[in-house]
Structure 1
Amino acid sequence: MILKTFGWSFGVTVAGLVVALYFWGWEGFAVVAILSILEISLSFDNAVVNAGVLKRMNEFWQKIFLTIGILIAVFGMRLVFPVLIVAVTAGVGPVEAVELALDDPDQYSQMVTDAHPSIAAFGGMFLLMIALNFLFEEREVMWARWLERPLSRLSRIDGFSVGVALAALLLTATTVASQAYQHGGHHADKTETVLLSGLAGLLTYLLVGGLSGYFENRLEDDQEKLEEEEEAARRAGKKTTVVGASGKAAFFLFLYLEVLDASFSFDGVIGAFAITNHIFWMALGLGIGAMYVRSLTIYLVRQGTLDDYRYLEHGAHYAIGALAVMLLISIRWHLPEVVTGLVGVGLIGWAFYSSVRANQREAAEGVEPKHVSAGG
């Protein structure tokens, strides 16, 4: 199971490290290895949340996620995205941006740092909406009942999570963004930039999340009708062809996963510039890490880990909320990457421990363990 799921990740790791060693020596080898570990540590909560969505997709779309999805994740977000940042902020073409990254990595890094407020606002708002919608949702399984129970009641207020997110964005734009951190320790007023980017992140979540939810609900309705038709056909001794809306539902869930991965990758890409300005070292290191995140997602789905450890999704969504807040704070103050990584890993580790303790307690009492529903 391990080799089948992580085989490609192991192979890409070996190939990437060999390439780094061959072209850039031991320094390139070490930096690529460090970046790989950085990406994995920052994205473990991403894998847990991905698994919660991916388990609702059939095997075909899970394979699409591992093939086309990984191409988007590695080449799109880890290689093309930093280049596009420079191209947009510097007003140059993508080719010129690549030449700038190779010929003048310091200026390239400066431009990415100066674009950080808009990146952090977009990613922070998208991730914040994910965390808020989880907290304001009524569910049977609760981890921190003292917090989740009163918050779940607020789900009865239409648009409450959007209102909270907009309030957070307004607070960020009028306080933190007025002294946004820039290259060299300088600060600049990025209020308008943060407002527009944050709104773009919020609208992206509402669009992609809304469409995926709509088609998922359509899929559930169609499946119920098909089951009724199949049962009626069986009683009449006839055969029926199963045709549903799974294609559209799976496509928008896939699109949602890609946008979710993009939002998580912002932190890793920006954090990588604290280690190196070399564009190819970044692409190799973050690409290797992204492969492991994908494989870990599939492993969690196939092993049923989220069902066995009921609080993992809770811990992951708390980590997402913490990451969203830290992204918004980082618009003004630089936060060490080790902090963001440890917060996420710590919350998920705590959730895992709580799940184990709960399972042991119920086993001792002879109670059948509770499992997380398909919808989380």
Structure 2
Amino acid sequence: MFLRTFGWSFVTTIAGLVAAGLIWGPTGFGVVLILAILEISLSFDNAVVNATVLKRMNPFWQKIFLTVGVLIAVFGMRLLFPLLVVMLTAHIGPGTVIDLALHTGHTYQGLTYGQHLEAANPAIAAFGGIFLLMIFLDFILAEKDYHWLRPIERTLEKLGKLEALSSVIALVSLVLAARFFAGDRAETVLLAGVLGLVTYLVVNGLSGVFESSVEAEEEAEEEAEREGRSLVQVAGKAAFFLFLYLEVLDASFSFDGVVGAFAISNDIFQITLGLGIGAMYIRSLTVFLVRKGTLDDYVYLEHGAHYAIGALAAILLVSIEYKIPEIVTGLIGVAFIGAALGSSVLRNRRQAALGSLAAQDSSSSSSSSVGTRH
């Protein structure tokens, strides 16, 4: 199963690195490899969160996520989206933006393509930061079957009973970020943050539609079995809504990686190739977690991933003013995931030990009963 899930990732890596070496030489090979590793380290928590959604899809839509979803992630988010951002924020025509992207030495108003994208960072960070903050807040304020940091999570669950608390916290965070980090870009930051909040509410609404569709599907399946009807269309719509949600998630996670990549290379094709290889591994890892049932076996992984998302949201908002090294972002995510995985392993061992003691007690009781009867 491992090779079947990661096979295309391995093929893409080999082909991509060979192409990088042939086109740009050893330096290009190294740059693309570093960019791929950067993308994987920054997005591991993305894979865990994606897996919580993807496990509700059937195998067909999991394949769509690995094929069409990869094309959107690589060419849409890592190539076309930065072009669109520069065009909108710098008020540059499409032809000029493409010229800047293709020729790293060309400038417009004294700035290169990478510098224009860096100048757009406040808007990008506000949008992505608020979107990810909402994901974190809606998780941490909701009731959960398992509690990792029990005192904190139980207290926040009680607060979460207040209507729309997550939106209120997000808006307050946005105002504070605009006040203390944005400077003369406060209006841009506020607008981008509000758009991030609206986007989340829309895609979260689609997720709610999916939940309703699942319930309707289960009821309709029973009726369909009696009447011999098919429900492919209903399942397709529900899965499509989730697919859109996953793509927006990927977009939010990719913001810091795309902007940060220009600190490593100014060549848009090197960046697209390196980040694309990394995106392929994230998608394969997502499917692997689903097929292995990892989230069911290690129950705190989802918690760790969401705490990492909360940390990334805070980093994005702070990065409106201050530059945060990508290695810091990556290490924080890995630390939360690693701690959650370790806690899950210890919990499983405790559960196994308790089960073994219960079995021994049951066996001893049975033996005593038999001895008494004799």
TM-score of the two chains, using structure 2 as the length reference: 0.91
Aligned to 1:79: 79
Amino acid at match of 2:198: L
Aligned to 1:262: 251
Aligned to 2:158: 153
Are 2:152 and 1:162 equivalent residues in the alignment?
no
Aligned to 1:313: 302
Q: How is 1:282-297 mapped onto 2 (pairs within 5 angstroms)?
A: 282-297=271-286
CA separation in 1, counterparts of 2:115 and 2:224? 62
Amino acid at match of 1:96: T
CA separation in 1, counterparts of 2:305 and 2:261? 22
Give the counterpart of 1:143 among 135, 148, 152: 148
Greater Rg by CA? 2
Aligned to 2:126: 121
Q: Is the 8 A contact 1:52 1:306 kept in 2?
A: yes
Moved over 4 A (4+): none
Give the Å deviation of 1:175: 1.2
Give the Å deviation of 1:86: 2.1
Give the Å deviation of 1:110: 1.1
Aligned to 1:186: none
Q: How far does the alpha carbon of each residue in 1:43-100 deviate from its partner, in whole angstroms, 9 at most, with x for none?
A: 0000000000000011111111111110000000111122222222332333321211
Relative distance call for 1:104 and 1:226 in structure 2 (3 A) is closer
Give the Å deviation of 1:122: 0.3
CA separation in 1, counterparts of 2:128 and 2:13? 27
Aligned to 1:331: 320
Give the Å deviation of 1:367: 7.3
Q: Is the 8 A contact 2:104 2:266 kept in 1?
A: no
Are 2:219 and 1:224 equivalent residues in the alignment?
yes
Aligned to 1:347: 336
CA separation in 2, counterparts of 1:61 and 1:114? 37
Are 2:185 and 1:190 equivalent residues in the alignment?
yes
Aligned to 2:349: 360
Q: Is the 8 A contact 1:45 1:348 kept in 2?
A: yes
Give the Å deviation of 1:154: 2.1
CA separation in 2, counterparts of 1:211 and 1:77? 21
CA separation in 1, counterparts of 2:188 and 2:22? 42
Q: What's the RMSD between the two structures over aligned residues?
A: 1.6
Aligned to 2:365: none
Aligned to 2:56: 56
Q: Is the 8 A contact 1:78 1:286 kept in 2?
A: yes
SS at match of 1:190: helix
SS at match of 1:111: helix
Are 2:93 and 1:93 equivalent residues in the alignment?
yes
Relative distance call for 1:367 and 1:195 in structure 2 (3 A) is farther
Q: Between 81-90 and 318-327, report the one with greater CA deviation.
A: 81-90
CA separation in 1, counterparts of 2:90 and 2:192? 18
Give the Å deviation of 1:222: 3.2
Q: Is the 8 A contact 1:215 1:245 kept in 2?
A: no
Q: Is the 8 A contact 1:124 1:325 kept in 2?
A: yes
Aligned to 1:44: 44
Q: Between 92-101 and 131-140, report the one with greater CA deviation.
A: 92-101
SS at match of 1:39: helix
Q: Between 318-327 and 207-216, report the one with greater CA deviation.
A: 207-216
CA separation in 2, counterparts of 1:208 and 1:13? 32
CA separation in 2, counterparts of 1:29 and 1:124? 32
Give the Å deviation of 1:241: 2.5
SS at match of 2:112: helix
Structure 1 unpaired stretches of 5+: 179-188, 234-238, 369-376
Structure 2 unpaired stretches of 5+: 106-110, 358-374
CA separation in 2, counterparts of 1:42 and 1:168? 23
Give the counterpart of 1:208 among 183, 203, 207: 203
CA separation in 1, counterparts of 2:90 and 2:181? 24
Q: Is the 8 A contact 1:46 1:316 kept in 2?
A: yes
Amino acid at match of 2:252: S
